[in-house]
Amino acid sequence: MSTGNADQKAFWETFATLWVDKQKDLDTLMEPVLAGVLDRAAMGTDQRVLDIGCGTGTSSLRAAVAVGVGGHVTGADISEPMLERARALAGNMSQLSFQTTDVAEHPFVPASYDQVISRFGVMFFADPVAAFANVLKAMRLGARLTMACWSQLDKNPWFQVPMYAAKDRLGAPPAVDPDAPGPLAFRNTQRVMRILEDAGFTDINAETETLLLTPIGDLNRVATHAASIGPAARAVEYFEATAQDFEAIVARVAAEFTDYATPEGVRIPAAINYFTAAAPDH
């Protein structure tokens, strides 16, 4: 495993407990995003599918239902604790399996998959061109790739509001390369399209869709969730924030999110980059 991806494995092992504990909240929050991936992929029965960065497995489960018992879905993730939850949720589905691996370097059997999907699982590669080239080797001629990534920060209050709340309370942590592995690394559609082209993909398309995230709970629960992940969590960890600091950040986020309260619950606007591409057909 490369040094960069080893760093990602360490990161996800550290935060795995948080993500497992919040599995229901995260899946509900991101349901509209996953629906966008599945709609674009339009998987057929009997297909073989690779799900990159499947986390606790909801995307893989949904894909497994789509392909039926004659197909198969492999959910791949770098975090074993998250895959333990995925396996528990999957039960005994014969057409679904999970693999703890780094897809950037995994020795795939060539031409194994008809489809590759990902919901927020591809923005963490140390060398994205090499990673996607490796994935491409696993795809059959003409196989399709469909993936969702966060768009620009200023279009995603789910990240922006907690980040500024933490910055105002704690200060700014050291700057990082905005294109370094992280949740917003694939915000620039033109950059990602170049990455996919350099990796060998064809028929590459990008679309930015504005939708509403659907978190569970009242403003305080939603604000606590938002402040616990992403840039705000990085600041809280870096500055070793106190419980009082965190409570102040959550209160600020809840106040900012008031504008998003609806009779159906808190609905956070988001901009999502959807990418589709194909393996060459010859």
The pair of three-digit structure tokens given for residue 117, joined into one six-digit string: 């999907």
Distant-in-sequence, close-in-space partners of 135: CB < 8 Å, separation ≥ 6: 50, 52, 103, 108, 116, 145, 199
- Farthest-apart Cα atoms in the chain, separation: 60
The pair of three-digit structure tokens given for residue 282, joined into one six-digit string: 């010859």
Q: Do strands 96-100 and 261-262 pair parallel, antiparallel, or not at all (unpaired)?
A: unpaired
pLDDT for res 1: 42
- pTM confidence score: 0.94
DSSP-assigned letters across all residues of 214-269: ---S-HHHHHHHHHHSHHHHHHHHHTT--HHHHHHHHHHHHHHHGGGEETTEE-EE
Distant-in-sequence, close-in-space partners of 4: CB < 8 Å, separation ≥ 6: 125, 126, 127, 181
Name which of 83, 63, 82 is nearest 73 in CA terms: 63
DSSP 155: G
pLDDT for res 36: 98
Name 118's bridge partners.
147
pLDDT for res 20: 83
Q: Do strands 139-150 and 265-266 pair parallel, antiparallel, or not at all (unpaired)?
A: unpaired
Q: Give the span between the Cα atoms of 179 and 186, in whole angstroms.
A: 7
Per-residue pLDDT of the chain (282 residues; tens, 9 = 90+): 444 555 555 555 556 677 788 889 999 999 999 999 999 999 999 999 999 999 999 999 999 999 999 999 999 999 999 999 999 999 999 999 999 999 999 999 999 999 999 999 999 999 999 999 999 999 999 999 999 999 999 999 999 999 999 999 999 999 889 999 999 999 999 999 999 999 999 999 999 999 999 999 999 999 999 999 888 998 999 999 999 999 999 999 999 999 999 999 999 999 999 999 999 998
